[in-house]
Structure 1
Amino acid sequence: MQNRFRANARFGGQRAIVALMLREMSTTYGRSPGGYIWAILSPVAAIAFLSLAFSAFFHTPPIGNSFAMFYATGMVPFLMFNDIQNKVSQSLMYSKQLLAYPKVTFLDALIARFLLNFMTQLLVAYIIFGGTMLFFEGTLSIDILTVLDGLLLAAQLGLGIGTLNCFIYLRFPVWQQMWSVLSRPLFLVSCTMIMFDGIPEPFRDWLWWNPLVHVVGLVREGFYDGYDGYYISSKYVMLVAMVCFALGLLFLRRHHRDLFER
């Protein structure tokens, strides 16, 4: 009887996650005219703009032969982290009404938003990288496993920081606006437009503590044969992600119902 109860609870949780994913697919991507197309066109437009702008001043990118591929390897992992972090951090506010049902837990809402947006960004990465290689840089020898490791780290970091922010958003609503302002320079200090190797000291040592620098470096190491990402520490990124995720889950488990009743 106890095993049957656990199986039913597990199945009910899976159904809730799928239902939440379908709900977000219809509300986030189904109502706008562009839908999923805009999720692809937005980073493509940014990469194209950066490529045209910098190719007018420089003959070659810092690594490789294609400006488009260089900026794609920087922007795609950053955007994966940023999108997942933003969506996960707002998951409880987004599904607040559904959390009133006893079979829908706060963890279901977190997992549903993470899975849907991770799969979306993985599809976007495949299309952008594939299209860039086809039209701009077809001679690359790619280490697919290394690239996937980098994207998975970006997703884990987005889940971890997003989970912690999910609690802080509910506890201190002003933090949402503060985080929006404080996180804007992340794009510039995550080595998406430059190489970590070219940054002078002591700024290089300071930037090392930004986990996104390691994520971007790992993706580029997978695309550019011979590039030595000596500074990359996957363990450091995973540690930051796991600590943030554990703290976020701990606080949400203890306080999420009280925060909703405020």
Structure 2
Amino acid sequence: MAAPSSPQRLRPVNRTMRLATPRTILALILREMSSTHGKSPGGYLWMVLEPALGIALLSAIFSLGFRSPRLGTNFPIFYATGLLPFMMYTDISNKMSQAVNYSKALLAYPRVTFLDTLLARFILSALTQLLVGALLFTLILSIWDTRTVLLMDRLMLSYAMAMAFGAGVGTLNCFLVTMFPLWQRAWGILTRPLFLISGPIFLFETLPEWAKEILWWNPLMHVTGEMRGAFYLQYEADYVSPAFVFMVSAICGVMGLIFLRQYHRDMLER
């Protein structure tokens, strides 16, 4: 009769299982990097050029009609503080919403789960946008005398809110887009004016009272306000509520995970 396996023989197996998910996520990140930007000339360079050109275009257009932006004296830093956190949200939410569709073939393997695909896309998108933001903010502050003082804690809080909201919306949309393909078009139509109502080109305080009461419920207004407060000492942004943003993000994320867990097998057959 064979002797029972000793605890020492089981430890390597447990260790292998514990490390499977991090290895899977890393492999998915490397796959994403090579397929998304690695095969196109200047793919990673365009990640920096796109927001840089957007900031330059906004600065050029509004400088023709105004002597100074709504806050401070420098147009590039004003629009960068609105555009970059908005891009963080949109990139994370868009990438995560397609996580299952993008990796359907890999999800047939037992070691790859929908959570792995979501985490891989979130990590890569967040790190990429943080790098883009760091490069552009450093470039702007080096070229112009923006007369701003950077408060790193507020900057990181703004980015944290953008990442959380992007992850929450992206997780919920991952289920909706995969189960109901028409939702992707409907969502694109519904969110088309999102840039205009999220604060990148205006200040919340300059709006009429009725508009403030409506737009306060847009989490991205809080993200933009906190980012502006990170650079402009005179701008307090009293309306910003991080708790509200994180609460909405958590609700969306938890709902998305519940639906994905319940229906992920049905989603793979579509």
C-alpha distance in structure 2 between counterparts of 1:87 and 1:105, whole Å: 16
Residue equivalent to 1:18: 26
Structure 1: 4+ residue segments shifted above 4 A:
1-6
SS in 2 for 1:56: helix
Q: Is the aligned partner of 1:128 residue 2:136?
A: yes
Q: Deviations over 1:77-120 (max 9, x none)?
A: 00000000000000111111111111111100000000001000
Tell which deviates more after alignment, 6-15 or 99-108.
6-15
Moved more, 125-134 or 229-238: 125-134
Counterparts of 1:138 and 1:245, CA distance in 2: 37
CA distance in 2 between partners of 1:175 and 1:222 (Å): 36
Q: After TM superposition, list the pairs within 5 Å mapping 1:98-109 onto structure 2.
A: 98-109=106-117
Q: CA deviation at 1:136?
A: 2.1
Q: What CA distance in whole angstroms lies between the structure 1 residues aligned with 2:24 and 2:141?
A: 39
Q: 2:230 maps to what in 1?
A: 222
Q: Report SS of the residue matched to 2:149.
A: coil
Q: Return the alpha-carbon distance in structure 1 between the equivalents of residues 131 and 267 of structure 2.
A: 35
Amino acid of the structure 2 residue aligned with 1:159: A
**Alpha-carbon distance between aligned partners in 2 of 1:154 and 1:137, rounded to the nearest angstrom:** 27
Q: Which residue of 2 aligns with 1:57?
A: 65
In structure 1, the residue matched to 2:240 is: 232
For residues 144-172 of structure 1, give each alpha carbon's deviation from its aligned partner in whole angstroms, at most 9, with x where no partner exists: 11101101110111000000000001111
Equivalent pair of 1:69/1:137 in contact (CA under 8 Å)? no
Identity of aligned residues (%): 46
Amino acid at match of 1:172: F
| Residue number in structure 2 paired with 1:47 | 55
Distance 1:9 1:226 in 2: 52
Q: What 5-or-longer segments of structure 1 have no aligned partner?
A: none
- Report the alpha carbon displacement of residue 10 of structure 1 after superposing the two structures with TM: 2.4
Query: SS at 2:65's partner residue?
Result: coil
Which residue of 177, 201, 207 corresponds with 1:169? 177
1:245 to 222, 234, 253: 253
Please state if 1:37 is matched with 2:45: yes
Match of 2:214 among 200, 206, 216: 206
**1:181 is aligned with what amino acid?**
I
**Following TM superposition, by how much is the alpha carbon of 1:201 offset from its aligned partner in structure 2, in angstroms?**
1.5
Distance 1:240 1:105 in 2: 25
User: In the aligned structure 2, how far is the partner of 1:59 from the partner of 1:25?
Assistant: 42
Give the structure 2 partner of residue 147 of structure 1. 155
Given that 1:65 and 1:137 are in contact with CA atoms closer than 8 Å, whether structure 2 keeps it comes out as no
Residue in structure 2 matched with residue 91 of structure 1 by the alignment: 99
CA RMSD of aligned residues (A): 1.2
The alignment partner of 2:197 has SS state of: coil
SS of the equivalent of 2:33 reads helix
For 2:30 and 2:207, locate their aligned partners in 1 and report how far apart those are by CA, in whole Å.
44
Would you say 1:72 and 2:80 are equivalent positions? yes
What SS is found at the alignment partner of 1:93?
Answer: helix
Which residues of structure 2 form unaligned runs of 5+? Answer: 1-6
Deviates more, 1:218-227 or 1:136-145: 136-145
Instruction: Please state how far the C-alpha of 1:141 moved relative to its aligned partner.
Output: 1.1
